[in-house]
Amino acid sequence: MTALTIYLPKIRIKPILISTFPALILYGLSILFSSCPAYGDQALLKKGVKNYKNSKYRKAAYYFYEAKRSDPDSAEAGMAAYALKTIRDSRSLMQHMEEDEAVFRADINNDELAMDLSERHYGFAKKLISNPITYPIFPELHLKKAIELNPDNTNARMALGDIYYKIGDYQSALQEYENILSYDPGDLRAYEMAGRSAVGSGYFTKADILYRQLLAKIGNDGERYDAKKIGKIKRIIDALPVTYPEVERFLRDGNIEKAESILKDRVDLNPSDHIAKTALARVYLEKGNKKLAEGFLKEALISSPAYTVAHFYLARIYYASRDYENSINEYAVFKDEIGALPIIRGDLKKIYMHSMYRLSEIYFMLREHDECRNQIEEILKADPQEQDAHYNLGVYYYVCEHDRSKAYKSFAKTVEINPANETGKAAKYAIEFMRNNPDSRFTPDLSFIYDF
């Protein structure tokens, strides 16, 4: 397994549903923190956000009004209009906060006022979050101000972590949840959300530690964590594809001998080390010794029957050996266990998709058509823009069901996604063949596209 890469969400200019928070970082965040020069309505919006951040709401309102007026149809104007409405709808509350913060800046040792202002910022952020549509930057600014005024405000830290988690900024979320644990080591929700965020960040070893700490902290807290919830946490721990970072670096760099030496030492020290045995299997796969690799994988699964990485590589060995029945079983276990994780993204998502691609291909070869279609549909459910899956679905409809209409739609969707790459070209060929050959019993050279 290669090292996991963190893919940052794309920046877009759109309001979003606060209840769902799709995994993207909004344009407002980039405007606030970008060092790039801004022009026109963007410059006005940037000034408005800067003043809002500093609790100068009346001045911010002026800039938001000018930004809205500058280009009424622009995305910047939409954000400015939202900010302006927010200030106007809570004019009295925000005016008092602005005035009281001016007082506090003149008397920064006034702890009572600091704590009061912190709670007001937290309360206003909650109000913004409860709205059906919002830009996360505004509750984020209030929560950061609440924490600045009172670092012990763990409610504000939790809310800020939740915002980051919901927009897909898992590393920032993890930082906030861990900050909470430094103030309150007994906060069970912070442990759980930190574990989820670590999974989203690809930090599986850290996630393993956090979830195990959560289990240790739960104790007899049966009111919040019943047997079902505890079982779910244990399943997540089992499913985590934990690896040894040092070994991963050597494997990535092609230093197979060094990786092998380290892993052998680990196994000598702990014969039950399923992670080391699985990594050793990968070493021997690199060396072309499938039999030895298979043996280590089976030993790893004796020590840890749910270890996902071992199931994945064992499935690949069985596939290469044309032992399709066992390959199906291993891929299915891998897919089922990974599906228990709260977040699947990055390289983990790639190998998760790989398992479904491979399963669909095997079922296609075995003429188990319903299972084949189910796997392809699961891929498209996980990612509706997965081009190869659309192409494979077209092949399935044409070859297995002789349904020209559905096949044509799938191939057309394939071309729509990217007409220039190899998959798009193959779909164009399939469409052209269908147009020139109306009888679907005459099958062209259509086969699943599969590249891993």
pLDDT score at 442: 56
Report percent pLDDT > 90 for the chain: 67
What average pLDDT does this structure show over 268-283? 93
From 27-41, 193-207, 354-368, the region with the lowest mean pLDDT:
27-41
Closest CA to 180 of 205, 197, 158, 148: 158
Task: State the pLDDT confidence band at 29, using cuts at 50, 70 and 90.
Answer: very low
Q: Which amino acid is at 161?
A: G
**φ/ψ (deg, to 5) at 78:** -65, -45
Q: Which of 30-34, 138-142, 333-337, 436-440 is predicted with the least confidence, judged by mean pLDDT?
A: 30-34
What three-state secondary structure class fits 225?
A: coil
Cα–Cα dist 244/252, whole Å: 12
**Mean pLDDT, residues 259-272 taken together:** 92
Q: Identify the band that residue 56 occupies on the pLDDT scale cut at 50, 70 and 90.
A: very high
**CA-CA distance, 203 to 243, in Å (whole number)?**
10
Helix residue ranges, H only, 168-244? 170-183, 188-201, 204-218, 227-239
Residue 39 has pLDDT above 50, yes or no: no
- The pLDDT score that the predictor gives to residue 114 is 95
What pLDDT sits at residue 270?
Answer: 92
| pLDDT exceeds 50 at position 271 | yes
- The CA R_g of the chain, rounded to the nearest whole Å, is 27
pLDDT, residue 150, reads: 95
pTM passes above 0.85:
no
How many other CB atoms are there within 10 angstroms of residue 30's CB atom?
Answer: 15
**pLDDT tier, 62 (very low <50, low <70, confident <90, very high otherwise):** very high
Model confidence over 158-192: pLDDT tens digits?
999 999 999 999 999 999 999 999 999 989 999 99
Using alpha carbons, select from 251, 179, 210, 207 the residue that is nearest to residue 344. 207
Spell out a b/e string for 339-376, using b for 16 or more CB atoms within 10 Å of the CB, else e: ebbebbbbbbbebbbbbbbbbbbbbbeeeeeebbbebb
Question: Tokens 């996991």 correspond to what residue?
Answer: 4
What is the spatial distance between Cα 65 and Cα 81, in angstroms, rounded to a whole number? 7
The tokens describing 143, both together, are 């929560």
For 3, the 3-state DSSP assignment is coil
- Return the percentage of the chain with pLDDT > 70, whole number: 87
The single-letter code of the amino acid at 51 is N
Give me the pLDDT at residue 443, please: 60
Looking at residue 31, its pLDDT comes to 41
Predicted confidence (pLDDT) per residue in 66-102, tens digit: 998 888 888 888 889 999 999 999 999 999 999 999 9
Token couple for 388: 């190869």
Q: How confident is the model at residue 449 (pLDDT cuts 50, 70, 90)?
A: low
- Please tell me the total number of residues recorded for the chain in this structure: 452
99-135 per-position pLDDT tens digit: 999 999 999 999 999 999 999 999 999 999 988 656 8
265 or 133, higher pLDDT: 265
Mean of pLDDT over the chain: 86
CA 429 to chain centre: 35
Spell out the domain ranges in the chain: 11-168
> Confidence class of residue 23 from pLDDT cuts 50, 70 and 90?
very low
Q: Reduced to 3 states, what is the DSSP secondary structure of residue 298?
A: helix
